[in-house]
Amino acid sequence: MKHLISVLVENKFGTLNRVASMFSARGFNLQSISIGETEDPEISRMTIVTRGDDQIVSQVLKQLNRLIDTIKVTDLTHQPHVERELLLMTLKLSKATQHEIFELINVFKGKVVDIKQKSITIEVIGSPDKINTTIDIFRPYGIRELARSGAVAIHRGE
């Protein structure tokens, strides 16, 4: 099962390395990890996506809580939260496919971030399901390059 974990840490040198090393040393798989400053520049939020049963994830949460510089660890999986990813994708572009591609960009509420004679680069922001669907829909048009950010997530507001 996929788990979404939010970790607040002190914004210090080596913190990301300690978290990644903890996963590696214990054989836990990191599906994605995103990190950035919070509203307090001395604190960063890590959003970690991992797979495993509840027992394994419980072990991961305990290990994360024990790390130096950890402030708070939360498994957001079963809690109300907002989760987003960023997709950047370069597609082959031709006169024959141009109209369809632009229509699909609008359907997915994407943005054109670069366009050349034979290629177009788009940006799409959304849930992991939306990103996966976007990739699947555009695949027949010829994906030249693809990058996705991994998840970022926070609790839903009150």
Domain with CATH 3.30.70.1150 in the chain: 82-155
**CATH 3.40.367.20 describes domain 82-155:** no
What is the rounded average pLDDT of the residues 70-96? 96
Terminal C-alpha separation, the chain? 27
DSSP string, 28-94: --EEEEEEEE-SSTTEEEEEEEEE--HHHHHHHHHHHHHSTTEEEEEE-TTS-EEEEEEEEEEEE--
Question: Does residue 105 or residue 29 have the better pLDDT?
Answer: 105
DSSP H helices, 6-109, are 15-25, 54-66, 95-107
Question: What is the value of pTM for the model shown?
Answer: 0.87
Domain with CATH 3.30.70.260 in the chain: 2-75
Mean per-residue pLDDT of the chain:
95
Q: 5-37, pLDDT tens digit by residue?
A: 999 999 999 999 999 999 888 888 899 999 999
Architecture of domain 2-75: 2-Layer Sandwich (3.30)
Q: 121-135, pLDDT tens digit by residue?
A: 999 999 999 999 999
